[in-house]
C-alpha cells in the first residue's frame, strides 16, 4: 500500500505540526479539529492553526506553498474527508474516552485497510483498542512524534497484539522515506523509550543537583558537553520544554508504571519546582525558569535561580576542576574526579544508565533501539549503551555497586566486553542473549560512517578525506572544525579531481557533520588579515576559485549532498556542482556580507549565471543582477532545501531527500545517472550592465540607509558588492568570461578584507557568534 493522502485529527501544536510536515513531503493532508463553541467559522481551530504555523519560527512548513496541501475542517461536518485517506493520525487530548469515541467515528468512514494511529504519549495501546472491533485494532498503531514534528527526527512506533504487521511496516516505511524520521520500534510500555529514560534523567539530574549543592550552571555544564548532551544540559532543557510539564508527566508515569519501577522513587516534584510553576516561572514561555533574562535598567542580564533559596542572580560560567579534567580526559576523567561535578556525574550516570540497561528487553527488543531513541529524541550524541562503553562496562558495574544500585542482567552479560564492537569492518551490538549481532541498516541507507569503518580513505589530510563509496563513486568528506573550508580542503579537492579522473565515475560532496559547512575558516582569514599577509589571502581566494572551478569542469559529474547549514564558502562549493541531492533540512546562503565581505569563491559568478539564464524571469541581465544583489546583500539564508530553489541556490531539478540517512545513497544514484554520457558544462560568458546597474543599486542602498535599516559599513559592503555584480567598469556590449568575473570577485574581496570595519565584523562573529552592526 502506498500513502497518498493523510489525515490528522486534532490541530493542537502536535497535530498541526504533523500535518504541516506531511505536506512537506508533498502529500495532501486533511487537518480536522472540533467545532469551537459559539464560533461563526466552524473550521476556526484548524484554519487558525495553519495561519499560525505560516508565521511561526522555526517554521513548521518547509515552504509556504505547502500550506495549500492542507485541507482544514472540523470533525462534525468533514469526517467524509477521511474516506480516501490512507493514514489517519489522531492527536487529540489525552483522554481515553474522547479518543475512543473519535475512533468509532473514524472507523465508520475510513476505507478498509487504511491505518489509524494515535500520537499519544501516555495511554497504552492496549487500552486504546480495548473494546474496539478486530478490524480496527488490526489497522491501529501508535506513532509518537516529538515536538516540533518537522525538526525532531525520532518517531516511536508501537504495535499491539492484534495489529497486522503490514499496518506498522507501511507507516514506518512512509515515515522513514517521506517524512525523514528515524523510526524506532517500541514495546507498549509507559513513555515508550525516549521519555521513559529521558524524563527519568531530567528528574534524577534535578534532584541530585539539589542534593549535592550544585548551581544550575554547574549542573548543566556537567550534564552537557562532557556527556555529549546539548549544552542546555538539564535545567536549560526544562526551561525549553516547560517546567509545568513535569508534574503531568510524573502523574502519568505514576499511574502507569509497575509499582516496583525505580522511576517511582524519583517522581516527587521538588518544592522549589512546584513554587516556580505556581508563580508562573514555567520556563522560556513563562516569566523565566531556572534561567531568566532580567531586562531591568534597559540591559539584558542572564540570571540563574539558586536551587536552595529560589533567588535569582546573574549567571556565571561554571568552574569546576572536574570539568577542566574532562576537557583533556573525556568522560572517564569527569566521572573519576572527586569534586562535586564528578560526584554529580557519577550519581546521575549510575542511576540513568543503570535504569536504561535494566529496561531492555522490557521497552525495546535491543539496545540499538534505545540508543537511537535517545540520540534522535533528546539529541544525545551518544546513547546510554554507547556512554557505558565509553566508561567501560566493567567500570560501570563497579560504579553501580559503589552507588548501591542493582546491576541489571544485561550489564552482567556485557562485563569484560562492550555493548558495541567493530568486527571485520562491521558494527555489531550485543543482543540480550549476550551474542554480537550486526547493526543492520534499512534498505537504501548508505552511511559514510559505515564506509569509514570498513575501508581506508583514498586520500586524507588534516581537514578532509576521500572515500570510495562503491560502484565507481567517490565521496569528499570535510573533517575540519565545523567543516570550515580551509586550504587543506581546497588541496584535497584538487587531488580528488585527479583521483576520480584516473579511475572513478563520479564525485559526491557529503559529510555527516551537523552542518555541511559553515563557510570559510574565518579565524584563519582574520588572523592572516591581522598580520597583513594580503598576498597570501589573495592566494587563498584564488586557490578556492581554482579548486571549485576544477570541480565544475571536471570530466565527471559532481553531486553535492548537503545537510544542515551550507553557508558562504560551503554554499559556493554546491553552486559549482552539476547537481544537488539535498537533505530537506538544508539551510543555504551566501552570508559573507555579515562579516563585511562578499562571496569570493565563484559564488557571485555562479549566482549571476543562474539568474541570467533563468527562463522564468526574462528581461536581460538587469533584473538578474538586482535579484543577486538582493539575495547576497541581505545574506539571505533559505530555511529549507525547498526554499533554496526559490533563490536559485538549488536548481529546479535538484533532488531533495527527506531522510538524512538516505541522502548519500540518493546522491550516489544521482551521480551514477549523470555519469552516463557526461559532458562538462560550457564555460560562462555573460554580459553585465556596468555602472548603470550600480547606480540603480545605489539608490536602493541609499533608501535602506535613509530608512535606518543599513549601518555605515553595510553601505560600504553593499556598494562594493553592487560594483562587482554589475560587472565593474563594463557595459552590456562586452562579454565577460569566467576569469573576468572571478577577478572582479577577488578585487572586491581584497578591498573589503583590508577594511578595519570588516575585521571588526569578523572578530565579533568569531567571538560572539553574532553579526556586528557597525
Partner 1 sequence: MANYTTPLRDMRFVYNELLDAEAIRALPGCEEVTPDLVDAILEEAGRFCEERLFPLNRSGDEEGCHFEDGRVTTPAGLKEAYRDFNEMGWGALAADPEYGGQGLPNVISMMVEEIMCSTNFAFGLYPGLTHGAYNALVARASEELKQAYLPNMVSGQWSGSMCLTEPQCGTDLGLIRTRAEPQADGSYRLTGSKMFITAGEHDLSENIIHLVLARTPDAPKGIKGISLFLVPKIAVNDDGSLGEPNGVSCGSIEHKMGINASATCVINFDQARGFLVGRLNKGMEAMFIMMNTERLAVGIQGLGIGEASYQGAVAYARERLQGRALGGAKSPDKPADSLLVHPDVRRMLLTQRAYVEGNRALAAWVASELDHSKRNPDPRRRQEAEDFVALMTPIVKAFMTDTGSEVANLGVQVFGGHGYIREHGMEQYIRDARIAQIYEGTNGIQAMDLVGRKMPAHMGRYLRRFFHPVRDYLESKENDFTLHAFLLPLAKAFGRLQKATAHLAQRGLKNPDEMGASATDYLRLFALVALGYLWMRMADIGQQKREQDPIFYQAKVDTARFYFEKILPQSSALFASIMAGSRSMMKFNDEAF
Contacting positions for partner 1 (CB under 8 A): 523, 526-534, 536, 759, 762-763, 766-767
Q: How far is the CB of 763 from partner 1 (least distance, A)?
A: 6
- Residues 371 and 388: their CA atoms lie apart, in Å, by 11
- Residues 601 and 592: their CA atoms lie apart, in Å, by 11
Contacts of 81-85 with CB under 8 Å at 24 or more apart are 81/7, 81/30, 81/32, 82/7, 82/30, 82/106, 82/109, 82/110, 83/109, 83/110, 83/111, 84/5, 84/111, 85/5, 85/6, 85/7, 85/30, 85/110, 85/111, 85/114
Q: Give the CA dihedral 493, 468, 568, 584, nearest 10 degrees.
A: 160
Q: How far is the CB of 637 from partner 1 (least distance, A)?
A: 24
Q: Nearer Cβ to partner 1, position 247 or 523? A: 523
Q: How far is the CB of 705 from partner 1 (least distance, A)?
A: 21
Q: Nearer Cβ to partner 1, position 231 or 481? A: 481
Q: Nearer Cβ to partner 1, position 234 or 318? A: 318
- Residues 638 and 647: their CA atoms lie apart, in Å, by 8
Q: Nearer Cβ to partner 1, position 242 or 523? A: 523
DSSP string, 263-311: HHHT-PPPHHHHHHHHTT--BTTTTBSSEEEE-GGG--EEEEE-TTT--
Contacts of 99 (CB under 8 A, 6+ apart): 90, 92, 118, 120, 123, 128
Q: Residue 581 — left, alpha, or beta (φ > 0 → left; ψ -120 to 50 → alpha)?
A: beta
Per-residue burial over 296-334, b = 16 or more CB atoms within 10 Å of its CB, e = otherwise? eeeeeeebbbebeeeebeebeebebebbebbeeeebebb
Q: How far is the CB of 527 from partner 1 (least distance, A)?
A: 4
Number of other residues whose CB lies within 10 A of the CB of residue 97: 7
Per-residue burial over 394-423, b = 16 or more CB atoms within 10 Å of its CB, e = otherwise? eebbebbeeeebebbebbebbeeebbbeee
Q: How far is the CB of 310 from partner 1 (least distance, A)?
A: 24
- Residues 724 and 91: their CA atoms lie apart, in Å, by 53
Q: Nearer Cβ to partner 1, position 531 or 699? A: 531
Q: Nearer Cβ to partner 1, position 106 or 537? A: 537
What is the Cβ-side half-sphere exposure of residue 723, based on CA atoms within 13 angstroms?
17
Q: How far is the CB of 533 from partner 1 (least distance, A)?
A: 5
Q: Nearer Cβ to partner 1, position 151 or 527? A: 527
**What does each C-alpha distance from 342 to 34, 494, 627 come to in angstroms?**
52, 47, 55
Q: Nearer Cβ to partner 1, position 348 or 537? A: 537
Q: How far is the CB of 531 from partner 1 (least distance, A)?
A: 5
Q: Nearer Cβ to partner 1, position 314 or 619? A: 314
Q: Nearer Cβ to partner 1, position 20 or 716? A: 716
Q: How far is the CB of 321 from partner 1 (least distance, A)?
A: 9
Q: Nearer Cβ to partner 1, position 447 or 750? A: 750
Instruction: For Cα atoms 696, 618, 616, give the angle at the middle one, nearest 5 degrees.
Output: 120
Contact at 8 Å (CB) between 493 and 476?
yes
Q: Nearer Cβ to partner 1, position 394 or 763? A: 763
Q: Nearer Cβ to partner 1, position 113 or 523? A: 523
Q: How far is the CB of 327 from partner 1 (least distance, A)?
A: 14
Q: Nearer Cβ to partner 1, position 443 or 767? A: 767
Instruction: For CA atoms 8, 11, 15, 18, give the dihedral sign.
Output: positive
Instruction: For CA atoms 378, 382, 386, 390, give the dihedral sign.
Output: negative
Q: How far is the CB of 484 from partner 1 (least distance, A)?
A: 13
* 520: DSSP letter: B
Q: How far is the CB of 334 from partner 1 (least distance, A)?
A: 19
Q: How far is the CB of 526 from partner 1 (least distance, A)?
A: 4
Q: Nearer Cβ to partner 1, position 487 or 560? A: 487
- Residues 113 and 176: their CA atoms lie apart, in Å, by 20
- Residues 605 and 628: their CA atoms lie apart, in Å, by 10
Q: How far is the CB of 449 from partner 1 (least distance, A)?
A: 25
Q: How far is the CB of 304 from partner 1 (least distance, A)?
A: 19
- Residues 386 and 420: their CA atoms lie apart, in Å, by 7
Contacts of 434-437 with CB under 8 Å at 24 or more apart are 437/366
- Residues 698 and 181: their CA atoms lie apart, in Å, by 47
- Residues 687 and 690: their CA atoms lie apart, in Å, by 9
- Residues 229 and 205: their CA atoms lie apart, in Å, by 13
Q: Nearer Cβ to partner 1, position 596 or 603? A: 596
Contact at 8 Å (CB) between 199 and 253?
yes
The three cell numbers of residue 728 are 565593474
Q: How far is the CB of 266 from partner 1 (least distance, A)?
A: 33
Q: How far is the CB of 455 from partner 1 (least distance, A)?
A: 27
- Residues 7 and 22: their CA atoms lie apart, in Å, by 9
Q: How far is the CB of 711 from partner 1 (least distance, A)?
A: 15
Q: Nearer Cβ to partner 1, position 491 or 674? A: 491
**What does each C-alpha distance from 773 to 715, 717, 760 come to in angstroms?**
11, 12, 10
- Residues 559 and 582: their CA atoms lie apart, in Å, by 10
Amino acid at each position: 500500500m502506498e500513502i497518498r493522502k493523510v489525515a490528522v485529527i486534532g490541530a493542537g501544536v502536535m497535530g498541526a505540526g504533523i500535518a504541516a510536515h506531511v505536506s512537506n513531503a508533498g502529500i495532501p493532508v486533511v487537518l480536522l479539529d472540533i467545532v469551537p463553541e459559539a464560533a461563526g467559522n466552524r473550521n476556526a481551530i484548524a484554519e487558525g492553526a495553519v495561519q499560525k504555523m505560516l508565521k511561526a519560527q522555526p517554521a513548521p512548513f518547509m515552504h509556504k506553498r505547502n500550506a495549500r496541501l492542507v485541507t482544514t475542517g472540523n470533525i462534525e461536518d468533514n469526517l467524509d474527508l477521511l474516506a480516501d485517506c490512507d493514514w489517519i493520525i489522531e492527536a487529540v487530548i489525552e483522554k481515553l474516552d474522547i479518543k475512543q469515541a473519535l475512533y468509532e467515528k473514524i472507523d465508520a468512514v475510513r476505507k478498509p485497510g487504511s491505518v489509524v494511529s494515535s500520537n499519544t504519549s501516555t495511554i497504552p495501546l492496549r487500552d486504546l483498542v480495548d473494546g474496539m472491533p478486530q478490524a480496527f485494532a488490526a489497522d491501529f498503531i501508535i506513532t509518537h512524534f516529538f515536538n516540533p514534528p518537522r525538526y525532531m527526527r525520532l518517531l516511536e512506533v508501537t504495535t499491539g497484539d492484534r495489529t497486522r504487521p503490514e499496518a506498522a511496516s507501511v507507516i514506518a516505511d512512509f515515515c522513514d522515506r517521506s517524512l525523514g524520521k528515524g523510526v524506532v520500534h517500541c514495546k507498549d510500555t509507559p513513555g515508550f523509550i525516549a521519555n521513559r529514560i529521558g524524563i527519568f534523567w531530567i528528574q534524577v539530574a534535578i534532584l541530585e543537583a539539589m542534593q549535592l549543592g550544585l548551581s544550575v550552571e554547574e549542573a548543566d555544564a556537567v550534564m552537557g558537553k562532557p556527556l555529549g548532551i546539548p549544552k542546555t544540559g538539564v535545567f536549560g532543557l526544562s526551561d525549553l520544554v516547560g517546567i509545568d510539564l513535569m508534574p503531568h508527566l510524573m502523574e502519568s508515569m505514576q499511574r502507569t508504571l509497575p509499582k516496583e519501577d525505580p522511576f517511582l522513587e524519583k517522581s516527587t516534584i521538588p518544592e522549589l519546582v512546584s513554587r516556580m510553576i505556581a508563580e508562573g516561572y514555567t520556563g522560556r514561555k513563562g516569566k523565566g525558569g531556572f534561567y531568566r533574562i532580567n531586562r531591568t535598567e534597559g540591559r539584558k542580564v542572564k540570571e540563574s535561580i539558586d536551587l536552595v533559596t529560589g533567588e535569582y542572580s546573574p549567571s556565571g560560567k561554571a568552574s569546576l576542576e572536574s570539568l577542566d579534567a574532562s576537557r583533556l580526559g573525556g568522560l572517564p576523567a569527569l566521572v573519576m574526579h572527586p569534586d562535586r561535578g564528578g560526584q554529580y556525574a557519577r550519581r546521575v550516570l549510575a542511576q540513568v544508565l543503570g535504569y536504561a540497561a535494566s529496561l531492555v528487553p522490557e521497552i525495546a527488543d535491543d539496545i540499538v533501539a534505545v540508543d537511537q531513541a535517545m540520540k534522535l529524541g533528546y539529541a544525545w550524541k551518544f546513547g546510554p549503551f554507547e556512554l557505558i562503553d565509553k566508561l567501560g562496562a566493567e567500570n560501570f558495574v563497579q560504579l553501580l555497586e559503589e552507588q548501591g544500585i542493582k546491576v541489571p542482567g544485561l550489564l552482567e552479560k556485557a562485563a569484560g566486553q562492550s555493548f558495541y564492537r567493530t568486527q571485520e569492518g562491521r558494527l555489531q551490538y550485543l543482543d540480550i542473549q549476550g551474542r554480537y549481532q550486526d547493526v543492520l541498516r534499512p534498505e537504501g541507507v548508505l552511511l559514510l560512517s559505515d564506509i569509514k569503518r570498513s575501508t581506508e580513505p583514498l586520500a586524507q589530510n588534516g581537514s578532509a578525506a576521500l572515500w570510495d563509496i562503491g560502484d565507481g563513486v567517490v565521496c569528499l568528506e570535510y573533517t575540519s572544525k565545523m567543516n570550515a573550508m580551509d586550504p587543506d580542503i581546497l588541496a584535497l579537492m584538487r587531488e580528488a579531481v585527479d583521483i576520480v579522473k584516473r579511475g572513478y565515475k563520479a564525485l559526491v560532496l557529503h559529510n555527516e557533520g551537523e552542518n555541511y559547512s559553515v563557510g570559510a575558516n574565518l579565524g584563519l582569514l582574520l588572523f592572516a588579515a591581522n598580520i597583513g599577509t594580503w598576498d597570501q589571502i589573495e592566494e587563498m581566494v584564488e586557490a578556492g576559485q581554482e579548486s571549485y572551478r576544477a570541480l565544475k569542469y571536471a570530466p565527471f559529474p559532481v553531486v553535492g549532498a548537503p545537510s544542515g547549514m551550507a553557508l558562504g564558502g560551503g554554499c559556493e562549493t554546491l553552486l559549482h556542482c552539476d547537481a544537488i541531492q539535498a537533505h530537506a533540512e538544508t539551510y543555504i546562503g551566501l552570508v559573507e556580507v555579515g562579516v563585511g565581505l562578499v562571496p569570493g569563491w565563484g559564488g557571485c559568478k555562479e549566482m549571476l549565471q543562474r539568474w541570467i539564464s533563468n527562463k522564468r524571469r526574462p528581461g536581460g541581465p538587469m533584473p538578474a543582477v538586482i535579484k543577486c544583489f538582493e539575495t547576497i546583500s541581505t545574506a539571505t539564508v533559505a530555511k529549507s532545501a525547498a526554499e533554496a530553489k526559490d533563490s536559485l541556490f538549488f536548481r529546479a531539478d535538484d533532488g531533495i531527500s527527506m531522510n538524512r540517512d538516505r541522502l548519500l545513497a540518493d546522491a550516489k544514484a544521482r551521480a551514477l545517472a549523470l555519469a552516463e554520457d557526461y559532458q562538462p558544462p560550457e564555460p560562462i560568458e555573460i554580459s553585465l550592465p556596468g555602472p548603470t546597474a550600480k547606480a540603480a543599486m545605489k539608490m536602493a542602498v541609499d533608501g535602506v540607509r535613509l530608512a535606518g535599516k543599513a549601518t555605515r559599513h553595510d553601505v560600504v559592503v553593499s556598494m562594493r558588492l553592487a560594483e562587482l555584480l554589475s560587472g565593474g567598469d563594463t557595459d552590456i556590449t562586452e562579454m565577460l568570461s569566467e576569469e573576468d568575473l572571478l577577478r572582479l570577485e577577488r578585487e572586491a574581496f581584497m578591498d573589503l578584507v583590508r577594511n578595519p570595519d570588516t575585521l571588526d565584523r569578523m572578530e565579533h562573529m568569531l567571538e560572539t557568534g553574532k553579526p556586528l552592526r557597525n
